[in-house]
Amino acid sequence: MPTPAEFRRNFPSLNELTYLASCSQGALSETVAAALQEYQDSLFEHGAAWERWETQVEHSRRHFARSINAAEHEIAVVPSLSAAAYQVVSTRDWTQRSRIVSTDLEFPSLGHVWLAQEPSVAYVEDRAGVVYAEDYTALLDESCGLVSIPLASYRNGVRLPVREVIEQARTFGVPTFVDAYQAAGVEPIDVQELECDFLAAGAMKYLLGVPGIAFLYVRDGVLDAHDPVATGWFGRQDPFAFDPRRLDYPDTARRFESGTPSIPAAYAAVAGLQLLESVDPKTVRNHIADLGQYCHDALTADGERIGSPADRSLRGAQVAVRDGAPGDLAKYLAERGIITSPRGDLLRIAFHYYSTSDDVEAVVRAIADYRRSR
């Protein structure tokens, strides 16, 4: 297995940049760049190379399934997490169970999908940026039709008590939707252990791909109250039957697919997922946890107000710094070759297996310089 330094060599831009924004977009590797070039070459050399392209989509499905210990037929290839959420919520029966339990720490795109549907939404409030299982449990009853919970919050990187919440939801017969976008690629994920009903993640962040493709895990045996209405030719039993008068849904997760997936994004997703298969997820998590603790301690010593948890067991792949104008701070850092990601009143500093202690020292030093300059 490659060391972090060896893994880092796949990312030539890191020779020039201190890249700490994987919570928004993963760094571009030579592997992914080559995959995108391969797609371009297929256009030049073969024109409409549908057989090659479909193979890449299937490879992306296979590699993502492997990364979360799922079966291939349990994975739908979708364009975004929003699309995944809509496919799930639109196929449930809300006549008897008319509530969704969510949290403000969930990414707004999911929250917007929940709000746009028939159910009402009950929110679990965070306590100083942390959500506790008992706060979810307090909102669970027989009127609940879905529990939505992220593995880690986009806002401050806090890990949520997903296993405990899923276990409690099961006692009320409530299906669970897990957002793994801020965890897939930097946290070990095993859907057989989680026992969730749905899990979704996209390729562009810690999975090291590009925008345009996401994956929806649908536990084998989950039944729909309604067939997906946002459908298309890839949602058929045989997409290449080309029968406009027949609406036949497969029994697998592919029933949630719709139109043509982003082929360039599929090429990139395969390359990113293959790159991550070369490393052990637990080793990746431990490396990131060490860097996060180093960063948290250094910033705290400098008097910074930290919006992510102090407890490393609750902290995901990022450290969040409170600031009145985080966009200005991010711009200052970017001008010095340090790439971060502002959200709300927080500057997010996100780590990956390619990150180093030198990266931590560079961002801590630059933030201190910014404070002095103000």
Confidence of residue 358 (pLDDT cuts 50, 70, 90): very high
Q: What is the pLDDT of residue 118?
A: 78
Same structural domain, 314 and 188: no
Q: For the chain, what is the mean pLDDT?
A: 96
Same structural domain, 266 and 315: no
Scan for tokens 């927080």, then name that residue: 346
Same structural domain, 265 and 133: yes
Side-chain half-sphere CA neighbours of 293 within 13 A: 9
Cα distances from 54 to residues 39, 121, 213, 224, 234, in angstroms, run 12, 38, 14, 27, 11
Same structural domain, 60 and 208: yes
Q: In this structure, what are the phi and psi dihedrals at residue 106, rounded to the nearest 5 degrees?
A: -80, 150
Same structural domain, 233 and 344: no
Please tell me the distance from the alpha carbon of residue 148 to that of residue 27, in angstroms, as a whole number.
28
Same structural domain, 13 and 139: no
Please tell me the distance from the alpha carbon of residue 357 to that of residue 291, in angstroms, as a whole number.
6
Please tell me the distance from the alpha carbon of residue 194 to that of residue 160, in angstroms, as a whole number.
13
Please tell me the distance from the alpha carbon of residue 267 to that of residue 210, in angstroms, as a whole number.
9
Q: Which of 276, 310, 339 is the last residue of a domain?
A: 276
By the 8 A CB rule, do 158 and 315 touch? yes
Element (H, E) at 179: strand 176-179
Same structural domain, 10 and 39: no
Same structural domain, 217 and 339: no
Task: Quote the number of domains for the chain.
Answer: 2
Same structural domain, 52 and 187: yes
Q: What is the pLDDT of residue 165?
A: 98
First to last CA, the chain: 45
Q: Where are the alpha helices (DSSP H) in 247-320?
A: 263-276, 281-301
Same structural domain, 133 and 170: yes
* Token pair recorded at residue 274: 């293959």
pLDDT in tens, 114-156: 999 878 999 999 999 999 999 999 999 999 999 999 999 999 9
Same structural domain, 168 and 69: yes
pLDDT tops 90 at residue 352: yes
What is the amino acid identity at position 16? E
Please tell me the distance from the alpha carbon of residue 164 to that of residue 233, in angstroms, as a whole number.
38
Same structural domain, 139 and 286: no
Structural domain boundaries enclosing 39: 33-276
Q: Which of 276, 291, 315 is the last residue of a domain?
A: 276
Q: Which of 220, 242, 276 is the last residue of a domain?
A: 276
